[in-house]
Structure 1
């Protein structure tokens, strides 16, 4: 079956049963497309169509690729180097790694036409789709086709925090307002199940990234943090942190992970080649496999925003998120 056959059946990711029950997600309507007026969605798939006017297509000599913000982008420039060389061979274009420092910078770069291909973190995907014309088509998965990560709330040993209820009166680090596991999912959980509101029942801080949140807890700068455990797994594998540096007080069920895609107005022939680059990449012996095997990932699989991000849109709706892209 071709890589971009989007009707392929993939595992569905579900919000943790505790959050789902409390928020009564079954009573919430399915989120409708909320695209900027700059874009058209004639086929109803909730992402921007390729423009019908060929003069609006972009076919750059150099394709710019960005991975979701991390503490040390230089590490991931090396991790992605082999894959980007493969993309150069498939597309016939030069491909440049863009080391973004924040979710906002990554979003603005695509919105402004300076970023063509990217991996956006889970929570940023709806913003990228609606405001920047991002078209997700791929995600990393394990060899058996399973994919995703869990949101965890962590603390340092000896903090006195043994349960979620113990966060009252303490400080908790989020990553950024657009992050699913770093803000939206834990906010919904804390508010709905435990009656804990940020800056009322606990002090909230924004660290900027999961790496920063994890290191902040390990160094006792934060009492606790909401993180993606896939990031922690990779940091453990690189010996950035060690087993026992932190303790987990809450783990969710599985969410979809980083989505890879392209800007909506990429030339259709180039788009097809970009898809081919993802589907034909040989993970065996690659730096990509060495890094992402630490979180159980070993291949790229096809996805759709409409299907695979339904639970994330529901979390955003539960948090009152709207998109003002104009």
Structure 2
């Protein structure tokens, strides 16, 4: 968060828990001092009783952004792409899903350039980015962690 006067690796250490809810639980248990998480995940955890929101202090709120999405390859056959998109946009969520997603009742189109700009800026401010190189780096890190866990498990037998 350089725009807020906070410098990564000086004012805070960057760790990746792998999931927003894991980050929230890490702060809740005292494993992390703070975490950048999607507010809808955080509030849903409070509503479900997984955390007490009064035990947290929110220090920054970004503009709203889509927290999950479906994507497709840019080179899909156009007729198939259009039929697939129509299925998504025609679908209406069940009442339970509407409740879970704060009243949203359908999928809406989003773009990487516009709606995900705030996410890219947060990532870039922490020294990461959403590009192929970053994806490959994270994939390699995850694979190394899986391999290490498997080796440790095999060593305990």
Partner Cα separation in structure 2 for residue 217 and residue 263 of structure 1: 36
Is the Cα–Cα contact under 8 Å of residues 24 and 35 in structure 2 kept in the other structure?
yes
Root-mean-square deviation over aligned CA pairs: 3.1
Tell me how far 1:304 sits from its aligned partner.
3.4
TM-score normalized with structure 1 length: 0.35
> Cα deviations across residues 201-255 of structure 1 (Å, max 9, x unaligned)?
3333221111011001111111222221111112122222233232223323333
Calculate the TM-score normalised by the size of structure 2: 0.64
Between structures 1 and 2, the one with greater helix share: 2
Equivalent residue in structure 2 for 1:207, among 17, 40, 63? 17
**Residue equivalent to 1:278:** 88
1:260 alignment counterpart: 70
Are 2:104 and 1:297 equivalent residues in the alignment?
Answer: yes
Gap change, CA 1:284 and 1:204, over 3 Å in 2:
closer
More strand by share: 1
> How many Å separate the matches in 2 of 1:278 and 1:214?
30
Q: CA–CA distance in 2 between the matches of 1:253 and 1:307?
A: 12
Instruction: Give the secondary structure class of the aligned counterpart of 2:55.
Output: coil
Distance (Å, rounded) in 1 between the aligned partners of 2:121 and 2:8: 20
Report 1 or 2 for greater relative contact order, CA contacts < 8 Å, sequence distance ≥ 6: 1
Q: 1:266 to 1:288 in 2, by over 3 A?
A: farther
